[in-house]
Amino acid sequence: MLGYRSLLVAVLAFPVAAHAASRIQAAPVPAEMRSTAFTVTVNGQTVDVAHAAASYEFVSFDGTGPFDVAITAAEPGFWDRGVDIQPWRLGLRPTRQGSTIRFRLAGPAKLSISRPGDFLNYAKMLFLFAGTPPPPMLRNQGIHAYVPGVYHESLNPKSGETLYLAPGSYFFGSLNLWKVHDVKILGRGTIVYEGTQDPTSDEGWMQKPDWHCIGALEARNIEIDGLTCIVRARTWSIQMKDSTKFIYNDLRVIGGNPGNANQDGMDWLGGGDAIVRDSFLRASDDVFALQGNWDGYTDEEILLPGHDVQNILIEHSELSTSISNIVRAGWPRKTFNSRNFTLRDSDILHAGIGACGQTFGLLGFWGARGAKGEHSNYTFENLTLDNWYSLVQIEREQPDLHGFVFRNIWALDQPPLVDSTITGKVTDVTFDNVKYGQTRAASDADLPLVTTDGAQPAKFTAPHGPVAVFTVEPPVIAPGNKVTFTAQPSPNARYTWLFGDGTKIAGATGRRVRHRFPDAEGTELDGAAKGAGRFRVLLHVEDEAGNQDWAAQGVVVVGKWRDAVSPNGVLAPGLSWQIFPGTWTELPDLATQRAVFAGESPSLHADAQGFTRYAAAWDGFLDIPADGGYTFHLMARDGARLVIDGMEVARTGPPFAQVCGSPGNAMRYDRGSLGLRAGTHRFHLEGLHSASQGSPRLLWEGPALPLTDVPPAAFSHPRQDAVKAGSRN
């Protein structure tokens, strides 16, 4: 019998062309919500697209599947630079024709669809919810049923009431659960919360009616099924104060605001005993936050002791934030206790960027400046990471922070951008099978993790259960070539492969499989211009007891080779560099600028001779050890650009300022792939230095070359004395 994660793969990732497309149900979107940014058809039927918040749109429909989905962007060329469909675990890749993309879903799913790397608050994103048909409208005595339509009112149920919100019912207001119990909200309705909060300050913490999409005070025994929350104001989306025994099923939350802050997904201020299941949350701050109370920002209000938060389970969900943490607990000077928090069997689509005093991560526990209370038994288990920033940031000055477990955490196709940290009085932290690609973290250096100020060293468990690791032959791949994938054997295991090319892979369930990639565009359809595309190949292994593991590897298929060059003259180790002083807000076109300093360095370092705001350029050659497809990963805080053999391979994008007074900019990331012949290739890299310290970081991977920093030994440049002598002659 398949476990939960395997079942989702079997249901969602495999095209099922042999089955006829099913009929779908899709309620109309009211005129004031309708969007023209995208046109969507499902099984040939046009489905209304709704505007959510910020530059986000969403579409909802129901059926049993399969679903043939076509999405046409109104903006010409919108998909030209690629398509990113998440969760990556599903292995989906569309076909593209002009402004239209097409793909097939075999059954219900919750998807985030955008362009590669475009997921911050200003991104244009489409969220797609393919659900199972809801139960029919209830007409029992005592049930308040709302038919499809627009309601400019809030919902204020009384104790013991059940509300049925039919698909196509839209409420411009709030759901207020104020000192009530035994309430059910059923159906498939939508609440659009616009609010009156100041968009430039944080008023979203307040506890009062009509201040959140869902607000609860001292409420208990609440069930909410199938609700969509659209949050356009700068406020916490769902806030529960001293409330217990909440169950959320199939919740969809989309929040965005121009300030890109103070818009948590779900907050507990005391209370708990809650379950969130099969849900989707997109927030402009922490997706989940645990606090004992929140009564304001003055010293007196911050220091008020809070109530316990305990027994929270979040599972089978898709989680996304434009900034901040997936889970945050604690706050400087706050006093409260928390225990028994579990996040499991879920996908982390987008997990923060930057810092607010503390760097953002999957978990941020901020017990600083005299914060007190006991916090224990936090479990993060069976999670896949797509776009993410760091794993954990835990800080504590007082004792009684213990029992944190990170088990089966699978980063599918991106390295960590910044270090994890554990600081202060923290004990009993365990990392059990945390993997980046195919590599299991076995030490602090592998994570990477920095432990300081008396924190107990973290424990890294030995491998146990099935292990997902595979090899690829041959190492050099062209479109249409037969490629053999071989998994490491695991006892009594089932092997499931996803090749990231969107083709039918029925039967690819053995330990050794063969596959042909149809083109060199890659999983995200972004490789055509470079002549090489990176395919995200995934292996899922599960044994008879339901124990499981994932492995991921980028496989570069080469359609166009770039030949090595023969440099003139004598080469010296390292690179030459130039300094361009200036006060740019993002990386300028250095071809139009004049350098004032120049020199040589073994690697990506340069002497700005006292300037604090400048751009630097490094030039020389890069030695490629063997023919093959290579992927280059570029990281920089203020902006960077990589060019190889005249082709722009990666550009990190404009700087993104950290918040809450944290200095400098957040780490930005981009990557690109090329087919390179063995030998010497022209190398050029630019980096801006405007608000942050440090040079860009460059990693590479290729045939028999695991992901690692490009070593200084790979760089060379013409010897300056030889250049000068040649110029005199």
User: What is the extent of the structural domain holding 538?
Assistant: 470-557
Which candidate, 335, 319, 442, places its Cα nearest to that of 384? 319
The number of domains in the chain is 5
* Percent of the chain whose pLDDT exceeds 70: 95
> Which helix (DSSP H) or strand (DSSP E) does residue 475 occupy?
none
The reply to whether 378 and 511 lie within a common domain is no
Q: Domain of 547: which CATH number? A: 2.60.40.10
The reply to whether 586 and 645 lie within a common domain is yes
β pairing state of 228-231 and 190-193 = parallel
Is the residue at 206 inside a domain? no
Q: Is the pLDDT of residue 722 over 50?
A: no
Q: Could you report the per-residue pLDDT of 20-66, keeping only the tens digit for each?
A: 667 899 999 999 999 999 999 999 999 999 999 999 999 999 998 89
* Residue 216 pLDDT grade (very low, low, confident, very high; cuts 50, 70, 90): very high
pTM of the model: 0.95
- Given a contact cutoff of 8 angstroms between Cβ atoms, the answer to whether 519 and 559 are in contact is yes
What does the pLDDT read at residue 109?
97
What does the pLDDT read at residue 319?
98
The reply to whether 125 and 180 lie within a common domain is no
Which candidate, 234, 269, 239, 380, places its Cα nearest to that of 315? 380
Q: Is the pLDDT of residue 354 over 90?
A: yes
CA-CA distance, 265 to 254, in Å (whole number)?
8
Is the residue at 566 inside a domain? no
What does the pLDDT read at residue 405?
98
Which candidate, 486, 518, 476, places its Cα nearest to that of 93? 518
What does the pLDDT read at residue 601?
96
The reply to whether 25 and 122 lie within a common domain is yes
Q: Is the pLDDT of residue 726 over 60?
A: no
* Residue 569 pLDDT grade (very low, low, confident, very high; cuts 50, 70, 90): confident
What is the DSSP secondary structure assignment for residue 683, as one 8-state letter? E
* Per-chain mean pLDDT for the chain: 93
Amino acid at site 360? F
End-of-domain residue from the set 426, 460, 494: 460
What does the pLDDT read at residue 505?
57
> Which helix (DSSP H) or strand (DSSP E) does residue 38 occupy?
strand 38-42
What does the pLDDT read at residue 458?
98
The reply to whether 44 and 10 lie within a common domain is yes
Is the residue at 346 inside a domain? yes
Residues 6+ apart with CB under 8 A from 615: 579, 580, 582, 584, 587, 588, 590, 593, 686, 687, 688, 689
What does the pLDDT read at residue 20?
61
- Given a contact cutoff of 8 angstroms between Cβ atoms, the answer to whether 301 and 271 are in contact is no
The reply to whether 526 and 609 lie within a common domain is no
Q: Could you report the per-residue pLDDT of 432-481, keeping only the tens digit for each?
A: 999 999 999 999 999 999 999 999 999 999 999 999 999 999 999 999 99
End-of-domain residue from the set 460, 489, 509: 460
3-class DSSP string for 390-432: CCEEEEECCCCEEEEEEEEEEECCCCCCCCEEEEECCEEEEEE
What does the pLDDT read at residue 341?
98
Residues 6+ apart with CB under 8 A from 283: 237, 253, 255, 263, 264, 265, 320, 321, 322, 324
* Percent of the chain whose pLDDT exceeds 90: 89
The reply to whether 330 and 431 lie within a common domain is yes
The reply to whether 376 and 311 lie within a common domain is yes
Is the residue at 228 inside a domain? no
End-of-domain residue from the set 460, 493, 519: 460
Is the residue at 512 inside a domain? yes
- Dig out the tokens for 424 from the structure: 């202060």
The reply to whether 448 and 491 lie within a common domain is no
What does the pLDDT read at residue 339?
98
* Residue 557 pLDDT grade (very low, low, confident, very high; cuts 50, 70, 90): very high
- Given a contact cutoff of 8 angstroms between Cβ atoms, the answer to whether 231 and 253 are in contact is yes
Is the residue at 482 inside a domain? yes
Q: Over range 515-521, report the average pLDDT.
A: 97
The reply to whether 309 and 420 lie within a common domain is yes
* Residue 504 pLDDT grade (very low, low, confident, very high; cuts 50, 70, 90): low
Is the residue at 565 inside a domain? no
Q: Pick the residue with more confidence: 225 or 397?
A: 225
Phi/psi of residue 355, nearest 5 degrees = -155, 155
The reply to whether 613 and 708 lie within a common domain is yes
Q: Is the pLDDT of residue 727 over 80?
A: no
Is the residue at 647 inside a domain? yes
Q: Is the pLDDT of residue 684 over 60?
A: yes
- Dig out the tokens for 660 from the structure: 């809450």
Q: Is the pLDDT of residue 6 over 80?
A: no
705-709, strands of its sheet edge to edge? 561-562, 668-676, 628-636, 697-702, 705-709
CA-CA distance, 481 to 383, in Å (whole number)?
33
Q: Could you report the per-residue pLDDT of 241-293, keeping only the tens digit for each?
A: 999 999 999 999 999 988 888 999 999 999 999 999 999 999 999 999 999 99
Q: Over range 549-569, report the average pLDDT.
A: 96
What does the pLDDT read at residue 69?
98
Amino acid at site 233? A
* Residue 723 pLDDT grade (very low, low, confident, very high; cuts 50, 70, 90): very low
Q: Could you report the per-residue pLDDT of 625-662, keeping only the tens digit for each?
A: 999 999 999 999 999 999 999 999 999 989 999 999 89
The reply to whether 359 and 250 lie within a common domain is yes
* Residue 228 pLDDT grade (very low, low, confident, very high; cuts 50, 70, 90): very high
What does the pLDDT read at residue 23?
85
Q: Could you tell me how far CA 255 lies from the centroid of its own chain?
A: 16
